[in-house]
Structure 1
Amino acid sequence: MKYLPISENLFIYNRKNFVSGIKANSVALFYASDEFPRSGDQTFLFKQNADFFYLTGIDQEQSILLLYPDCPNPLYREVLFLRQTSEHIAIWEGHKYTKEEARKASGIQNVYWLQDFDAILQSIIYYADNIYINTNENDRYAHTVPYRDLRMLQELRAKFPLHNYERSAPLLRNLRVIKSDVEIELTQKACNITRDAFVRVLKFVKPGIAEYEIEAEIIHEFTRQRATGHAYNPIIASGRNAIVLHYNDNNQICQDGDVILFDFGAEYANYNADLSRSIPVNGRFTPRQRQVYDAVLRVMKEATQMIVAGAVWNEYHEEVGKVMTSELIGLGLLDRHDVEKQDPKMPLYKKYFMHGTSHHLGLDVHDYASRYKPFEVGNILTCEPGIYIAEENLGIRLENDILITHDGNIDLMADIPLEAEHIEGIMNG
């Protein structure tokens, strides 16, 4: 891993919170992510299962966590299983965790090699009543690939059909959404790296630069500061490309007079930043570009003030919609009389602002959380309004990451240039 070591206390704390919520006399099993084939003899870069990392801090393939707090054999109440390395693996793939390194990283004292898993599970499973299995229950995900947790569930049901099977996901949904101090620090680190990449880009952009050249500047800064890489495929969308919400071809030349919409973030220690900015290619907004930019900025500032503990998801987005509607009327994009007659279920502002204002952020960029639960202290949410005007080849989106505290909220990206004058000043400095 490129990132610096994380205190094992984070993962000890996370496991303690998880097992406190499971039924008595239960085994919980967690599996590392699959290694996905990329070609005939290669796999994609490994990305650890977020829940597995949350509970172990182990960033390695083919690993298993077993939790059985009521196990009659104390040795098997908390067990980590790892792929055993060899001289061959060390030469061809590089270093793997030793048992002692895994103990230090996770805080789990009982570490075994993977080949011991079946025998150990067989020796204790019949003393348990329940088996907790973790599945991907993020409501943004539609299951199409039989990932490892599901395959293991099928195997377990075949071997142990009379046990009661339970879901770990609802417990983790309530736990992961509330960030501990260490998680906030890791997210802040990701934000700080993202800030430095954005400032670097501001000094680099000029007419004639290609979108992919800007992407190269971003990943250079990320890697230089120990980030694992991009939190998600970066969007560098100049001119008309900015009206494509998930544009990531990044293959066009940036033209004088256009605006570039950026949406990118660093991943550090599996925690993510998520930033959006819009800048003029030539360093100066036109009057119309500035008018739209300032409108989005005003919506962002008002929406940020609404991100507080107790806010309800749908009500929050409805209020932001009202603010956006007012700004779109001011820009001449909506007519006040048409708005008065609109169908509330199909508000007119959606023509120019078609996505949500916020999502939870953490180990997943769209972090695992309930959209029906009020915001809580410890939540980190994005705030990302945008206006997209196809007929003007103009898209403006602004986004910062907001932490909710007992005393209001904290903008984790408050030191990243946002005001139009600040951006123009750096670009022309």
Structure 2
Amino acid sequence: MAAISSLRVVRPQIDLTSATSSSPYAGSVGEKAFFRIHSRKQLLGAAAADAVEKACPAAANGIARAAVSSSRIAKGAPKSCAKSNKPELLVTRDEGLELYEDMVLGRSFEDMCAQMYYRGKMFGFVHLYNGQEAVSTGFIKLLKKGDYVTSTYRDHVHALSKGVPARQVMAELFGKTTGCCRGQGGSMHMFSAEHGLLGGFAFIGEGIPVAVGAAFSSKYKREVLKEEGDMPVSIAFFGDGTANNGQFFECLNMAQLWKLPVIFVVENNLWAIGMSHFRSTSDPEIWKKGPAFGMASAHVDGMDVLKVREVAREAVERARRGDGPTLIECETYRFRGHSLADPDELREPAEKAHYAARDPIVALKKYLLENEIATEAELKTIEKKIDEVVEDAVEFADASPLPERSQLLENVFADPKGFGIGPDGRYRCEDPGFTAGTAQV
């Protein structure tokens, strides 16, 4: 325990000069534009879209800004091309600090997970999210508590962004009863009904139908049961490899057919385990798959949280007001291997260095400082706070108890009279002879 409590979060020195606004995807599909709306008339409405085209072709093509707000365009499109000595701030002070804190929490938490994994505190596969923080933060921090999120096996940071306490997430990784799934989910199966996290899923694409089902429930309650209030929105996060799977296309069709309040977010980190996205997909521009179903679709720089946030806001608003789903491709990059068991020898060092120079946390910090939204001292205070949160989570998880053997078959069978319950009404695994021969495992 002493060795655990003495750990400190290892934070690399940040060189603000390494952040750049130029395209990080030279030679890839992202070189064409950071943000592209295929179905602009669906996103903005025909009148607003036409106004953008006439007033500012650059903005209409998605080059001038990361995203376009329908309300701003509809009310004053000609002003969008006007020159100004002072750039318009993309976030308020409170928003900027919230985004920075959430992204630093995700990065620091994952760095600590790596330490704990290699020290034998975690078992199985652990997939880290380093480098992709702008996507999770950009989308989830716009959601309300009643909104839903489904994730993948790379789900720790999604859970943190959705509000699951760091203590519960770390304890789940340690397999302890104080975890968000009482130690039964582990790294790849984070779940919290309280926070609207409908699960991390080990097999690719599994979370997409769950998100669509949650979105159907939201619309059914609104239109059939006449429930009032804001309609809950669902977001399905998944990787580029999933975009070639059948359930992805089936769910796009169903969501568009019924105009469900769901957002499909492709975290395209360019690699499906060890397979390059460009070698496995006939058309690597995933966002183009949406228009085949008449769905509004967009492409955004997933290394820039402010650009992600802009397109996310439009998609969330569309879904909540009942205008249907959106497919958004976020081109991003994972800084570590596929999992902590992956030696990461397939990707070229130059490629990894190229994306490391575009660290999304560095870019946000640079923006906050240059625009005088926050001071260096304030950001350091946030970093210190997060270090303490992560260290506390480790100590809490390490001191928490392991599950009792009687918990073995809980949540396995839906029928309480099923295989897990004996004739006397007690769990079969409570019988010492039930697991005879397995105690050494």
Same fold (TM over 0.5): no
Larger radius of gyration: 1
Q: TM-score, normalised by structure 2?
A: 0.23
Bigger strand share: 1
Q: TM-score, normalised by structure 1?
A: 0.23
Return the structure number with greater relative CO, CA threshold 8 A, min gap 6.
Answer: 2
